[in-house]
Chains A and B, each alone.
Chain A
Amino acid sequence: DAMVIQNPRYQVTQFGKPVTLSCSQTLNHNVMYWYQQKSSQAPKLLFHYYDKDFNNEADTPDNFQSRRPNTSFCFLDIRSPGLGDAAMYLCATSRETRTLIYGYTFGSGTRLTVV
Chain B
Amino acid sequence: AQKITQTQPGMFVQEKEAVTLDCTYDTSDPSYGLFWYKQPSSGEMIFLIYQGSYDQQNATEGRYSLNFQKARKSANLVISASQLGDSAMYFCAMRGMDSSYKLIFGSGTRLLVRP
Contact = CB atoms under 8 A, between A and B. Distances in A.
Contact of A107 (B44, B47, B102, B104): B44
B6 to A, nearest CB: 9
Nearest to A111: B43
Contact of A108 (B42, B53, B106): B42
25 contacts: A33-B102, A43-B45, A48-B102, A88-B43, A90-B43, A90-B45, A97-B100, A97-B102, A98-B101, A99-B95, A99-B101, A100-B31, A100-B32, A100-B101, A101-B33, A101-B50, A103-B50, A103-B95, A104-B47, A106-B37, A106-B47, A108-B43, A108-B44, A109-B43, A111-B43
Interface of B: 31-33, 35, 37, 42-47, 50, 52-53, 91, 93, 95-96, 100-108, 110
